[in-house]
Amino acid sequence: MSEEYRLTIKRSDRKKTIGIQVFDGEVQITCPKSATDLDCRQLLETRRKWIQKALGDLANQPEALIHSYKDGDLWLFRGSTYSLMLNNLIKGVRVVDSRIEVGCQKQNGPVYVRRMLESWLRAQALERLIERTSDFSFLMGVTPGLIKVRTYRARWGSCSSSGLVSYNWRLIHAPDDVLDYVVAHELGHLVHFNHSKEFWHFVEIYQPDWRTQRAWLKNHSRLLLES
């Protein structure tokens, strides 16, 4: 359908409308199984300028950090950059000054280090997100249900009508105020289950700089999602 970018079309019985996303140099259309190729082509045509801008924004983003899971790797944690250090004198993972230290013996290779780091980062994300969700729930006067961290390819969180709040665990890479914005955003959907003006006014009460924080996420999505 297009020679300008990679295009993926995902059809599902659960989808009621056609949606479009851009990430990692790819345009993805999600639609009902009843949607035709013509429907998809028409959507691409009507969103052509938006697609070009989104692809351009991605091209100008900071590159993702490349990890070998060895000493000296750079890692993002809560908005700051840390150097990885493998330490055979400790167990688990800890932050010391500007280092993230991983307990690792000589026989443990990169796969082990990757598993240890990701498990620790997920645990840190869940702890931080539960804490901030509790704080903002009190301030905003809402009561969420279960809180989960997940792996999302192109989103930061979701809130279901039943109150289930899910977050992308990679938010632990972002600065604290950016994570707070996502928390306030998702909890805002417990009052306004849409993105209306009323929704954004409600979020702004608790996150006055939400536009700046949303822009930061947009401009650093590759760095966070692919590192």
CATH number of the domain that residue 172 is part of: 3.30.2010.10
pLDDT digits (tens, 9 = 90+) for 110-148: 999 999 999 999 999 999 999 999 999 999 999 999 999
Q: Is the pLDDT of residue 30 over 50?
A: yes
Burial class, 9, CB count within 10 angstroms (exposed 0-12 / middle 13-18 / buried 19+): middle
Higher-confidence position of 12 and 80: 80
pTM of the full predicted structure?
0.76
pLDDT at 5: 77
pLDDT at 24: 63
For the chain, how many structural domains are there in total? 2
Q: Is the pLDDT of residue 169 over 50?
A: yes
23 alpha carbon, distance to own chain's centre: 12
- Same-domain status, 92 and 11: no
> Could you tell me what percent of the chain has a pLDDT over 70?
95
- What is the residue range of 52's domain? 6-59
